[in-house]
Amino acid sequence: MKPLKGIRVLDFSTLLPGPLATLMLVDAGAEVIKVEKIGGEDLRKSKPFIKGNSLLFSILNRGKKSIEVDLKNEKNREKILKLVKSSDVLVEQFRPGVMKRLGLDWKTLKKINKKLVYCSITGYGQSGPKKLVAGHDINYLAESGLLSLSTDKNGTPILPNTQIADIAGGSYPAFMNIILGLLLAIRKGSGCYLDISMYENMIPLAWLGLAHYTYHKKSPSENSLHLNGGFHRYFIYETSDKKFIALGALEDKFWHRFCEIIRAPNSVVFEKEKPSEIIKKIQIIINSKTGSFWKKKFSKETNVCCTLVEKVENLIKDPHLAEKKLSLKSQLFKKNNTPHINTVIDRKIKEQKKIQKAPLLAEHNYIINKL
């Protein structure tokens, strides 16, 4: 049996942070009812489309139910209140104050369902001078200083390769805290309110920079920390054909094996110079051969921590994933199959037997129509 079987979740969230969190709840067995505004949430309108449906929406909302409702209508609000009575979790992603104006805030709902776990996901939390400020992933990374740590050669911050604040600061903390909230509800017999701030959740992600600031009493300069460009053992080197290898040989045994493979001079092996000088010498060696040459060299190794920088399609073609039956070919390209991707929920927990589809807008309005 799935661990969250029998748990009902009302999901008022949109776009990425909340929907990914509730998708993980789906994989753990929960019933997730997506409460959408008239016309549906904005992600339904996002390209690309497959058979008239947004692929992005489908990926994040498979296995959920959809009700379309005007929350400003008093009759509809009363129906939602009845639905709350039979729910275990509520997830919302509005700015602070919106749910209160709708009469669906924590203080109101806990009176009708004392075991409710109420999760609010926002940029800056429910209190503080920035609580009403609009923002997106890039803004939280910018204000936390994380965006300043990696730059291009001109010193311009590099756009993140994925939505770090949305996922690591929003989706995952929401999921983890909801699970803990449900555990507390079982043990104490009462629910709780969860205030998930994507900006504030950047603090643990900034651990390297904060450690530097604590010690040196100043922020680190760009590309200077040992895990973001300031250390030769943890660096990205360019090959002769404009490809790149990613080196992560932090431990001595990995470093020495790397040096053996590239036939590094003693000055590099024994690190007799500054990291910046060692980087230059390694770069000359790596730049003498192609990416495929180095990939062939390093793919035979198990103790070196050096890999070619691949394209995203590697997640589809990688034989390692195929052998473990995690191939994205069947998930994304199989004929008559709903495109989907796995979450981090272990396969033994989710026990997925049939492919779940994303709901059509208002497909499950019968849930509130009968209330």
Judge whether 166 counts as a catalytic residue.
yes
**DSSP three-state, residue 306:** strand
DSSP character string of 218-283 = SPPPTT-STTTTSBTTEEEEE-TTS-EEEEE--SHHHHHHHHHHHT--HHHHTT-S-HHHHHHHHH
Would you tell me which CATH number, out of the four given (3.20.20.80, 3.40.640.10, 3.40.50.10540, 2.160.10.10), belongs to the domain 8-202+343-369?
A: 3.40.50.10540
Residue in 35, 9, 105 with CA at minimum distance from that of residue 368: 35
Model confidence at 279, in pLDDT bands (50, 70, 90)? Answer: very high
Model confidence at 142, in pLDDT bands (50, 70, 90)? Answer: very high
Length of the chain: 371
Is 351 a residue whose pLDDT tops 90? Answer: no
Is 233 a residue whose pLDDT tops 90? Answer: yes
pLDDT of residue 73: 96
pLDDT of residue 339: 79
Contacts of 293 (CB under 8 A, 6+ apart): 239
More confident residue, 351 or 289: 289
pLDDT of residue 201: 98
Would you tell me which CATH number, out of the four given (3.30.2130.10, 3.30.565.60, 3.30.1540.10, 3.90.650.10), belongs to the domain 222-337?
A: 3.30.1540.10
Distance from C-alpha of 101 to C-alpha of 203, rounded to nearest angstrom:
31
Measured CA distances, 350 to 22, 58, 130, 274, 358 (Å)? 14, 18, 38, 50, 17
DSSP percent split of the chain into helix, strand, coil, nearest 5:
40, 15, 45
**Per-residue pLDDT averaged across 71-95, rounded?**
97
Is 348 a residue whose pLDDT tops 70? Answer: yes
pLDDT of residue 27: 95
pLDDT of residue 9: 98
Pairing, β 117-122 against β 49-50: unpaired
Is 352 a residue whose pLDDT tops 90? Answer: no
Q: Bridge partners of 157?
A: 151
Domain boundaries of the chain, sorted by first residue: 8-202+343-369, 222-337
Lowest mean pLDDT of 204-218, 249-263, 336-350, name the range.
Answer: 336-350
- Mean pLDDT over each residue of the chain, to the nearest integer: 95
Residue percentage of the chain with pLDDT more than 70 = 99
Q: Which H or E run contains 5?
A: none
pLDDT of residue 232: 98
pLDDT of residue 353: 67
If one counts every other C-beta atom within 10 angstroms of the C-beta of residue 311, the result is 8
Catalytic residue among 27, 152, 166, 318: 166
pLDDT tens per residue across span 35-64: 999 999 999 999 999 989 999 999 999 999
Indicate whether this model's pTM tops 0.85: yes
Is 338 a residue whose pLDDT tops 80? Answer: no
